[in-house]
Amino acid sequence: MVEWWLTESRPEPMIQWLGVRNLTVRLWRTTSTVLGIGAGASLFLTVVLINQSVLQSYRESLEALTGRAELVVTPDASSWMPEELLSKIEQVPGIAHATPSVQTMAKITWADGNFARNGAKASLITGDSLEFLNSTSHILLARSFAARNGLKVGDTVTASTPTGAKSLTIRGLLPEGGMAKAFGGALAVMDIDAARKTFAFDGQTSRVDLFLKAGTSPRQAQARVSTLLGASFRVEEPAERVDNFQNSFRSFQALIEFLAAVGLFVAWVLVAGTIHVSVTERQGELGILRAIGASPMQILTMILGESFWLGLLGGGLALAASFVFSHAMLGTVVAALSAQALLKIPEPQLHLPLVQAFEFLLLTATGAAIAGLFPAWRATRVSLLASIEREQPHAAAEAPWATLAAPVPSLIAQMAIQNVVRRPSRTSTTVGLLATALAFVAVIEVMTGSFEKTLSARFDHTLTPELVIFGQGKGRPDQRQTLHEGFVDELRGLPGVRGAYGRRLLPIRYEGREISLISLDDMGVETGYRVLDVVDRPREQAGIELYSSPDFTVLVSESFRNHFHKSTGDFLWLAAPMGNVRARVIGITTDFSSPNGALYTSRAWYRKIWKDPLLNGIGIMVQEGHGTTALQTTLRSRYALSRNVVVLSDREYRNEVQGIAAQAIVYVKSLRWAALFIALIALFNSFMVDIRERWQELGLLRAVGMSPLQMMAMLVFEALLKAAMAVILGLGLGLGVAWFGLTNFLTTRLGWVFHLHFSWQAPALCAALAGIVSILAVAIPAFKAVSLEVSLALAEL
Amino acid sequence: MLLKVESLSKTYETSSGKPVSVLSDINLSIDGAEFVTIMGPSGSGKSTLLQLIGSLDRPTGGRILVNGADLSSLDEMGRTLFRRRKLGFVFQAFHLIPLLTAEENVALPLVLDGTSRGKALERARALLGGVVGLGQRGKHRPGQLSGGEKQRVAIARALIANPDLILADEPTGALDSATSGEILALLKSLRSEQGRTILMVTHDETAARYGTRIIRLRDGRMVADGKPA
Ligand SMILES: Nc1ncnc2c1ncn2[C@@H]1O[C@H](COP(=O)(O)OP(=O)(O)OP(=O)(O)O)[C@@H](O)[C@H]1O
Ligand SMILES: [Mg+2]
């Protein structure tokens, strides 16, 4: 017999209103859940927002610099092209005119009252054909920059150049917009011939802007000019050029992206945990709903709807929070990225397009709904009886490991341990939440530690000269003011100098990617060629071959080998100003100057092929018996001002480089605080629910004579036990991810080889943080528990 | 025959691996308009029996037929519809939804079945004001009601879908004797005035006297079935 109640089908009504009611009535719980989700989501959004804004700002700078040219020609193989090529380009059909320029970085200082003040840390001086500026000492400055620094037309500034300090007079101001937007206005413009003279670019050009005749398409012109110039030059549209430029901080990007991905996952786990906790708390209520006729589908959609709303609210909160966080962190990030990229990046405006904000909200809400899926599904499946009638599963009391607690002398500790083992599902939620956050901390700690350790180890076994000389500027050697090789000869003649050696880093292209070409003067076999850091054969042997082979030889970095699959014994072709040259690979070395790879060669060969007299740094070996400090003082007093250089001891140099690395890492490190904050809220939720669930039990304990202090001790001890479990789990997980990140992700993305470095610091930090976070999280719930009215708690029995 | 239970048994698997037999070989027939009480010592399986009949749990053996339809042949949705449309539950601990007002709690089963909220609330108000006599308390939350009042709300909720069968597990277990008397009288009137069938578990011999028939369980078996003394 078929019954009406089975066959009469009505559409199943949704009971979303009940879910919404749950959110509005339990405001306190909703707030803490939204806070947890918001914190998790903002961790992710902050990273995205910062990356995006900084990249945008960088891009705008580059675009402003590229100007209105339709095509840009740059030499592929070196920083310069011979001047005579210009007239050839101008004869190409379709080209209206071609404007050459040279670009370099120089520090500018000026007198401000009685004080010499540092102005632009790294200003860009671009030479252009500006007839009215035909004096070698005239420049234009961006109006905004001049205004900011109290400079006006007619003032004199001092610029550091490869041959020493030069006085320059401001003859005019660039109007707002256009080129003056580049680098936040920190740039100066001067006549090209003046620039060539001042900055030792004898007859060279670093860039040609092409303007086309009406009716000529950029593609056509590009093809024609490319054919004319051959493979050693790049002819690009401005947009392509910007893309290529951005590769220069791919390394940093890759690290951040990796951490953002891990962060996204961590955030999601924490969000999922928070929702899981809030659903578990209502298990009994859901059981009642099922008993009075709610279908699994109704329960499922109700919880998914609730999670969706929680996610939406949390996403909204995250949106606001990440603007605050990003704003606070922006300065650090810009500094770190400016040190990574070749140019100063102006501090960007935080900007999130509306569509993206909407997408983010949707993502958070959907993410939360997905996170609610599992607990919702469990809620529909849970035995109705277990959830309605029984406080705890029957089996729990007989858990075999419950006896584990027996040998512990203190009753309080014993009870705490019992609670931890007897309620495996609650324990695992709490431990899982904390462990995830700790794993994130461990990943950051181990990865940045490995970075720093690898860097300092490299210094330990390669740093040879006792003193180093650089041009003014901050950051990597290739971002500083270049020096002229004549300076090396001068230094060699000084008393106390045993040897002076030049080093040049030239960014060149190989198979379409930017790599570093590093050339070094021969430091002599008696140094054991430590500086070369050859990893696949004896260094001495490799050094001798590099400096005394009759053919052109190079060392390739590990990253180069990983990207281009060239190693010892292979040959490679490099595009040089005079045509292609063949290089023989004689060894593998370690280098971190470019993520794509680096080549090392002797400066004698480099000089011959690239005809470049400039240097990025000079190393000095001190004569025996002559004090290093004494020589440093002498060199400083002699050249610091006249040549505008810094003279550093090996220790100072090392500290400076490590300082730059540390700066880049600050941003990454600050992410872990965000992760811990989310964990704190998530744990707080979890402890709160835990204590709610044990309300009667706790009331009973108080009723039979447990003092508030004893109860507090028991709850805190429980929290610490869970924290200890989380530390072990989190460390294991974190080490695994860090190991994967270092050996797989970074090596394949960047080619750099880092060695996993694990010190006691990571576990110590994790343990300390876990302790602090769990005590903070348990404080309020425990306080609530000890201050509960015993009669009230028992009344619920 | 409204309800027919045939050689019903229930065994639990415990974590130690030893199965525990909680009910065995229960046979029972209940007609319309009966008020059956189930008695027996603690742990004898009374609640388990009620939960099996209420399809909150599945038996290990035997069958439960309601109006001839076999409960065990139903899928999850069928069981849900059975609970929603044919059954009313009353628990010792009331089990009202704390988020909802008394009248919303009462209206819930109808709302779950697709009746509009306005209509369902109207019915709920009528029910609260009528049989259970709680007219003024409709807008209160469960936390603001006394035990007896909560149980009246729970009974109204059990009645709203107009079910044939009401299952009550120690509905007076948490109430004092005066309030218990009122609740039992209310249940009794449901049978005598509305012709509903009630299955009630109780420990209390006086309570059992409100019923028309007493079933006694011991160690999971039925040991007696007869009229109250
Ligand atoms: N999920 C389960 N797993 C194992 N044993 C169970 C489970 N549920 C109930 N039992 C056991 O089944 C037996 C009967 O339980 P039931 O709740 O039906 O007893 P009762 O007669 O209602 O007792 P009381 O009068 O105390 O409410 C008990 O011994 C109980 O321990
Ligand atoms: Mg019972």
B170-184 tens-digit pLDDT: 998 888 888 899 889
Neighbours of B157 (CB within 10 A): 30
Residue A478's pLDDT band, with cuts at 50, 70 and 90, is low
Phi, psi of A444 (to 5 degrees): -65, -45
Above 80 in pLDDT, residue A285?
A: yes
Residue nearest to atom 30 of ligand 1 (CA): B43
Q: Using the structure block, give the residue that is written with the tokens 């000026």.
A: A110
A180: tokens are: 């003056």
Residue A722's pLDDT band, with cuts at 50, 70 and 90, is very high
Contact at 8 Å (CB) between A109 and A242?
A: no
Q: Which ligand is nearest to the CA of B38?
A: 1
pLDDT in tens, B52-93: 998 888 899 999 998 888 888 888 888 888 888 888 999 888
Q: In angstroms, rounded to a whole number, what is the distance separating the alpha carbons of residues A88 and A86? A: 5
Name every residue whose Cβ is closer than 8 Å to that of residue A305 and which is 6 or more positions away in sequence.
Answer: A14, A16, A19, A20, A369
Q: Is B125 on the interface with A (CB under 8 A)?
A: no
Contact at 8 Å (CB) between A70 and A212?
A: yes
Above 80 in pLDDT, residue A259?
A: no
Between A564 and A268, name the one with better pLDDT. A564
What pLDDT is attached to residue A549? Answer: 92
pLDDT in tens, A548-558: 999 999 999 98
Q: In angstroms, rounded to a whole number, what is the distance separating the alpha carbons of residues B129 and A603? A: 101
Residue A403's pLDDT band, with cuts at 50, 70 and 90, is very low
Q: Is A696 on the interface with B (CB under 8 A)?
A: no
What residues in A contact B76, CB-CB < 8 Å?
Answer: 295-296
Mean pLDDT on B4-11: 94
What pLDDT is attached to residue A345? Answer: 63
What pLDDT is attached to residue B60? Answer: 92
**Most confident by average pLDDT, A220-229, A251-260, A720-729, B186-195:** A720-729
Q: In angstroms, rounded to a whole number, what is the distance separating the alpha carbons of residues A94 and A218? A: 9
* Residue A297: closest C-alpha in chain B: B77
**Would you call A385 and B51 a contact, using CB atoms and an 8 Å cutoff?**
yes
Tell me the β-bridge partners of A156. A169
Across A313-317, A455-459, A631-635, A788-792, least confident range: A788-792
pTM of the prediction? 0.70
A interface test, pick of B57, B81, B111, B160 with most A CB neighbours within 10 Å:
B81
User: What Rg do the C-alpha atoms of chain A give, in angstroms?
Assistant: 33
- Under DSSP, the state recorded for A353 is -
What pLDDT is attached to residue A194? Answer: 78
Q: In angstroms, rounded to a whole number, what is the distance separating the alpha carbons of residues A676 and A448? A: 18
Q: Using the structure block, give the residue that is written with the tokens 């960007």.
A: A348
Average pLDDT, chain A: 78
ipTM of the complex: 0.88
Mean pLDDT on A362-391: 73
Above 60 in pLDDT, residue B40?
A: yes
What pLDDT is attached to residue A269? Answer: 80
- Closest CB from B78, B100, B161 relative to A6: B78
Q: Which amino acid is at B56?
A: L
Q: Is A288 on the interface with B (CB under 8 A)?
A: yes
Mean pLDDT on A429-457: 83
Phi, psi of A461 (to 5 degrees): -105, 10
Report the Cα A720 to chain-centroid distance in Å: 33
**Most confident by average pLDDT, A95-99, A397-401, A744-748:** A95-99
Above 60 in pLDDT, residue B34?
A: yes
Residue nearest to atom 31 of ligand 1 (CA): B43
Above 80 in pLDDT, residue A402?
A: no
Q: Is A23 on the interface with B (CB under 8 A)?
A: no
What is the greatest pairwise CA distance in chain B? 53
Contact at 8 Å (CB) between B59 and A385?
A: no
Phi, psi of A276 (to 5 degrees): -55, -45
* Residue A380: closest C-alpha in chain B: B76
Above 90 in pLDDT, residue A729?
A: yes
Burial pattern B39-74, b for ≥16 Cβ within 10 A else e, equals bbeeebbbbbbbbbbbbbbebbebebbbbebebeeb
Q: In angstroms, rounded to a whole number, what is the distance separating the alpha carbons of residues B190 and B174? A: 21
Q: In angstroms, rounded to a whole number, what is the distance separating the alpha carbons of residues A82 and A197? A: 15
Phi, psi of A345 (to 5 degrees): -105, 125
Q: Collect residues with CB below 5 Å from ion ligand 2.
A: B 47
Between A273 and A295, name the one with better pLDDT. A295
What pLDDT is attached to residue A80? Answer: 59
Tell me the β-bridge partners of A168. A157
Tell me the β-bridge partners of B201. B38, B169
Above 80 in pLDDT, residue A446?
A: yes
Q: In angstroms, rounded to a whole number, what is the distance separating the alpha carbons of residues A713 and A719? A: 10
Pairing verdict, β B19-30 and A187-191: unpaired
User: What SS3 class is residue B168?
Assistant: strand
CA distance B193 to chain A (A): 24
Q: Is A18 on the interface with B (CB under 8 A)?
A: yes
**Most confident by average pLDDT, A107-111, A188-192, A443-447, B157-161:** B157-161
Burial pattern B174-197, b for ≥16 Cβ within 10 A else e, equals bbeeebbebbbebbbebbeeeebb
Mean pLDDT on A418-439: 84
| Angle, alpha carbons A152-A153-A158 (nearest 5°) | 80
Above 50 in pLDDT, residue A641?
A: yes
What pLDDT is attached to residue A231? Answer: 63
Measured on CA atoms in the order A91, A92, A95, A100, is the torsion positive or negative?
A: negative
Between A390 and B186, name the one with better pLDDT. B186
Neighbours of B116 (CB within 10 A): 11
Distance A393 CA to ligand 1 centre (A): 12
* Residue A289: closest C-alpha in chain B: B97
Across A442-456, A472-486, B146-160, least confident range: A472-486
Helices (H), A404-468: 411-422, 424-462
